[in-house]
Amino acid sequence: MMHMSGTEHTGHCLCGAVRYRATAAPRWTSYCHCADCRRATGAPVTAYAGFARDAFRFEGLPPARFQSSPGVVRCFCSICGTPLTYEGERWPDEIHLLVGSADRPEDLAPQLHVYTRDGIPWLAIADNLPRYPGTFGEKDVS
Ligand SMILES: [Zn+2]
Ligand SMILES: [Zn+2]
């Protein structure tokens, strides 16, 4: 869909026990404004990069896994609690990385917004990126 420059992305949790490495460019990058991501991260908005599953691996301490809703698993560090990834049955061959833990998040700039209908009203967005009320590609009916 979208091509990003750079072929290796690394990062780690706050305490450094869990590390990861992606060996390909992400398929896409996006902000997510949904309430589940907001609660899982404690942040008003999250940013993701979607990597092919076979191009992404954890290193160091294996992360804890939490099924946050049917078909959805969120991984986080069991020591410091840093949220790291999202895996959904709807994207069986992808890992969605929370780019805030990346070593170079500046290389993973979001290219669109999803679930803006769930966004917090006081968060002002000043970019001109495409905005989707639900998931990517869903028509804006507002
Ligand atoms: Zn940690
Ligand atoms: Zn979300």
pLDDT recorded at residue 142:
45
pLDDT recorded at residue 3:
52
Residue 5 has pLDDT above 60, yes or no: no
Ligand 2 centre distance from Cα of residue 102 (Å): 18
Amino acid present at 9: H
Ligand 1 centre distance from Cα of residue 89 (Å): 26
Dihedral sign, Cα of residue 94, residue 96, residue 97, residue 99: positive
pLDDT band at 62 (very low <50, low <70, confident <90, very high): very high
Ligand 2 centre distance from Cα of residue 66 (Å): 15
pLDDT band at 136 (very low <50, low <70, confident <90, very high): confident
What pTM was computed for the model? 0.90
Q: Which CATH number fits domain 9-118: 2.170.150.70, 3.40.50.150, 3.30.360.10, 1.10.620.20?
A: 2.170.150.70
Boundaries of every domain in the chain = 9-118
Residue 34 has pLDDT above 70, yes or no: yes
Ligand 2 centre distance from Cα of residue 8 (Å): 24
Ligand 2 centre distance from Cα of residue 54 (Å): 22
Look at the block and give the residue holding tokens 């709807």: 90
Helix (H, G, I), strand (E, B) or coil at 93: coil
pLDDT band at 7 (very low <50, low <70, confident <90, very high): confident
Ligand 2 centre distance from Cα of residue 112 (Å): 13
